[in-house]
């Protein structure tokens, strides 16, 4: 692990979270401690709860990235290779797997809706 970068997020997370203002939304700020071409990143909400974490390799997303809601519950596990979507993406709904998506070279090749299978 080359370095830890903690960012208080004021902008949209990598999953395109809606940034509209309303009283239920958690305010986010941006603070950069260190930028490195290969770093472990941790994005946190203003209240300190983890929003997103993963690794940059040569400045691009690599491996599994995880995102969490304001309560700290996992929302998504996403696989990247050299900055593009590659592999399995798992989307959770209240700690249960809702969707399993498969990506190859940034293109979704399969999607399984486990929520409707119940």
- The residue among 50 and 26 whose pLDDT is bigger is 50
pTM of this prediction?
0.67
Topology, domain 4-113: 2.20.110
Numbers of helices and strands, H then E, in the chain: 0, 8
Q: Residue 23 pLDDT more than 80? A: no
Q: Predicted confidence band at 116 (pLDDT cuts at 50, 70, 90)?
A: confident
pLDDT score of 115? 76
* 3 state DSSP class of 54: strand
Mean pLDDT of all residues belonging to the chain: 75
pLDDT in tens, 52-107: 999 988 889 999 999 999 999 999 999 999 999 999 999 999 889 999 999 999 99
Q: Smallest Cα–Cα separation from 87: which of 110, 69, 56?
A: 110
């Amino acid at each position: 692990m080359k370095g830890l970068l903690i960012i208080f997020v004021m902008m949209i997370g990598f999953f395109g979270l809606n940034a509209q203002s309303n009283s239920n939304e958690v305010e986010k700020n941006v603070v950069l401690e260190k930028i490195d071409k290969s770093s472990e990143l941790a994005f946190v909400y203003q209240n300190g709860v983890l929003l997103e974490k993963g690794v940059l390799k040569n400045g691009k997303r690599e491996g599994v990235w995880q995102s969490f809601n304001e309560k700290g519950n996992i929302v998504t596990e996403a696989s990247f290779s050299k900055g593009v979507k590659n592999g399995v993406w798992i989307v959770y709904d209240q700690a249960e797997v809702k969707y399993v998506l498969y990506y190859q070279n940034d293109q979704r090749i399969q999607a399984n809706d486990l929520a409707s299978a119940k």
